[in-house]
Copies of this chain bind each other. A is one copy, B any other.
């Protein structure tokens, strides 16, 4: 993409009310626009990153049998009264609104009840199970404070998968699969090394739930980490029983601040029974359906990646989700401007063009272009200038390591 055609420009400063590092960097670099606290629009650069993260998540969910659907934001009161979660005193993050005739509606902060209600029309027999259904869609949560940028939004993108199994054993098997799928996702997104499978409270069926926590000083959680075993315990359940269950020893643990990037819950029949979501087994007997819920905040994941991988001058995207692989920067001063432009345009094509390269064709000084490039955080910066033309080589900088090399075209194409 030509950088002159991106309407966004980098900014020296984030809005004054933006206190989180992730949102400040994403705003300054032109990925997102802040509408109000916890509410961000996604600009063209941001959309590209978001779609790449979505594709990683989708691939892993499909691989374990997930089927995609899209549920609605507007929620019926009667559906949420079934398990007692309509009341604002029980759920304190509802946004509520009204139809013209006065009927109250909610905006989905999660979708357990709606999906279970929907499935009562489709699930009747053991033949209809198991089911693994997921969506990647907007959630609304009326957070009292929303100061963590993309990490705690009032309107945000979430992947939520729900499992429906005939037996506990079958659910347990799926639970093991999704653990692996989640770690695959975090690894593919570049934060596998600093993300821990974590024991946590909140299981409504099993005693505990599990979270995936990414080490970060900006995190709202506190976890105790066994770095060798790659397992952590949330401080809310740090007790001897959990430690024995997890095979951990208190003396091996170090305390860290962390961001919850994913959670997985066995929900048992808490939601399915009140809706009468049951199946007939092979002998014709009615049985309860076991349910599980598995979330990843997709925009929170994007925020976490920025929060943890950026450096003092800007964002450092892993190549898997970077908006472009190459940032091609032409420097016209000090050379034959026409030749430099010609060479840059040729290189743009050779490297793969629009989807692969952000081409800084703007009429700006080298210093400005370089600091923009550091801020935007594309993995490989390539400089084309009078100097590089003379030597017949390109100057290539690795954004993460800072290493600079002079490369021939053939070596550049092999990166």
Interface residues of A (CB under 8 A from B): 4-9, 33, 35-36, 39-44, 46-47, 50, 67-76, 95-101, 105, 107, 114, 118-119, 121-123, 127-128, 131, 133, 138, 140, 142-144, 154-155
Contact = CB atoms under 8 A, between A and B. Distances in A.
B7 A123 contact: yes
Contacts of A123: 7
A75 B35 CA distance: 8
Nearest to A354: B62
**A-B CB proximity, top 9 nearest:** A42-B70, A97-B97, A95-B97, A44-B67, A41-B71, A100-B144, A39-B74, A74-B155, A39-B72
Contacts of A155: 72-74
Identify which of A6, A73, A114, A131 gathers the most chain B CB atoms within 10 Å of its CB.
A73
Contacts of A121: 33
Q: Is the interface of A mostly helix, strand, loop or mixed?
A: mixed
A330 to B, nearest CB: 17
Given A41-B69, A95-B97, 10 more contacts: A7-B128, A33-B118, A35-B72, A40-B72, A41-B71, A44-B68, A73-B138, A73-B155, A74-B140, A100-B143
Copies in the complex: 2
9 contacts: A7-B119, A7-B128, A39-B72, A41-B71, A44-B67, A47-B69, A72-B155, A99-B142, A107-B107
A96 B98 CA distance: 8
A42 B67 contact: no
Nearest to A93: B100
A5 B67 contact: yes
A118 B27 CA distance: 12
Contacts of A76: 35-36
B114 A74 contact: no
Nearest to A154: B74
A323 B6 CA distance: 34
Nearest to A99: B142
A70 B46 CA distance: 9
Given A7-B133, A154-B74, A69 B43 contact: yes
A7 B67 contact: yes
A7 B131 contact: yes
A395 to B, nearest CB: 27
Contacts of A143: 100
A71 B6 CA distance: 16
Contacts of A70: 41-42, 47, 50
Contact of A97 (B44, B47, B107): B107
Nearest to A67: B44
B122 A9 contact: yes
A109 to B, nearest CB: 12
Contacts of A96: 97-98
A74 B33 contact: no
Contacts of A68: 44, 47
A277 B81 CA distance: 47
B36 A74 contact: yes
Contact of A138 (B6, B101, B138): B138
A157 to B, nearest CB: 9
Nearest to A95: B97
A118 B34 CA distance: 9
Contacts of A107: 97, 107
Given A41-B72, A70-B41, A74-B155, A8 B122 contact: yes
Nearest to A36: B76
Identify which of A7, A39, A75, A143 gathers the most chain B CB atoms within 10 Å of its CB.
A7
A8 B154 CA distance: 32
A122 B7 contact: yes
A35 B97 contact: no
A41 B70 CA distance: 6
A305 B121 CA distance: 26
